[in-house]
Amino acid sequence: MKLTAATWTDADSVETDLAVLPVGSTEQHGPHAPLGTDMLAAKAIAADGAARAEPEVIVAPTIPVGIAEEHRQFTGTLWVTPETFRSYVRETVASLASHGWNRVVIVNGHGGNVDALKEASARLTRDGTAYTVPFTWFDSVDMDTVRERVPDAAAVSMGHGGPVETSILRHLHPELVRTERLPAADDGGAERWGDWHSGVNLAYDSAEFTENGAVGTPSESSEELGEALHTEAVVQLKSLLEAVAKRDIERPDHR
């Protein structure tokens, strides 16, 4: 059940303790992909995974702004501090738990949110607020499975606004991807994320190593690859939701 489309009485009648909370970011993804790429992907995967899982799953509204200050030089990027983000996520999950939805999977679409979500989820769980698990969709997909479906994707890597993210948007929202700009996105992008020396990334902002914000080769994207990525992410989320639904969430006694 999607909370934004339900009445309070509809929500009250659902017999479940399981919810998903999609989180993303509003940030640059090169000249070709929308600022809402991370949010749109997380929202779709959360809704589709929840629809396929048993028991019924509450789908909370998507949190659209995350930890993205590294893209601050690119117009339209929005961000909050890690402290603000963690607090917002914790309080949103606490409000879900107050209605009895105390098993929560956070479906994340942005790499910059990962560390904060791990910390927030651990705190919520250890404090007894809600058993909370972060799920980052692009880390969850089995790329071997994806490559079996799309052999042309053999050399595809994540990047930023690269072939993976561009492909899933071409599948979910093809009208939002400026395909005519893909060659320029390749030319003005970077081959890899960061500026690495001795195992250390010397760059704090993406503008230090990419002219147009892209990392990777967006022209290697395709709707076919996006469909395979989406399908695999939904399969993985469904499996996780059903595992969380069955898990004993009582905290261990002191040894």
Which CATH number covers residue 151?
3.40.50.10310
Q: Which of 87, 97, 91, 113 is nearest to 58 (CA)?
A: 97
pLDDT of residue 157: 79
Is the pLDDT at 127 greater than 80? The verdict is yes
pLDDT of residue 152: 79
Instruction: Say how many Å lie between the first and final Cα of the chain, rounded.
Output: 40
The answer to whether residue 108 is domain-embedded is yes
Q: Name the 3-class secondary structure at 116.
A: helix
Q: What is the mean pLDDT of residues 116-128?
A: 98
- Which CA distances in Å does 156 have to 150, 182, 192? 11, 15, 12
The answer to whether residue 254 is domain-embedded is no
pLDDT of residue 154: 65
Q: What is the mean pLDDT of residues 74-101?
A: 98
Which residues does 160 contact at the CB level (< 8 Å), separation at least 6? 29, 30, 193, 206, 210, 213, 214, 215, 216
The answer to whether residue 178 is domain-embedded is yes
Q: What is the mean pLDDT of residues 172-195?
A: 96
Question: pLDDT tier at 192 (50, 70, 90 boundaries)?
Answer: very high
Q: Which is higher by pLDDT, 216 or 152?
A: 216
Domain holding 51, by residue range, is 3-245
- A 10 A CB-CB count for 245 gives 17
Cα–Cα distance measured from residue 153 to residue 1, given in angstroms and rounded to the nearest whole number:
34
Is the pLDDT at 4 greater than 80? The verdict is yes
Domain count of the fold of the chain: 1
pLDDT of residue 168: 97
Q: What is the mean pLDDT of residues 87-93?
A: 98
Per-residue pLDDT tens digits for 142-173: 888 898 889 877 677 789 999 999 999 999 99
The answer to whether residue 250 is domain-embedded is no
Among 144-153, 156-165, 184-193, 213-222, the range scoring the smallest mean pLDDT is 144-153
The answer to whether residue 161 is domain-embedded is yes
One-letter amino acid for residue 51 of the chain: A
Q: What is the mean pLDDT of residues 171-200?
A: 96
The answer to whether residue 253 is domain-embedded is no
Is the pLDDT at 103 greater than 90? The verdict is yes
Per-residue pLDDT tens digits for 54-66: 999 999 999 999 9
The answer to whether residue 68 is domain-embedded is yes
- Which CA distances in Å does 215 have to 36, 94, 157, 159, 198? 17, 36, 10, 5, 21
Q: Which is higher by pLDDT, 148 or 2?
A: 2
Q: What is the mean pLDDT of residues 91-99?
A: 98
The answer to whether residue 255 is domain-embedded is no
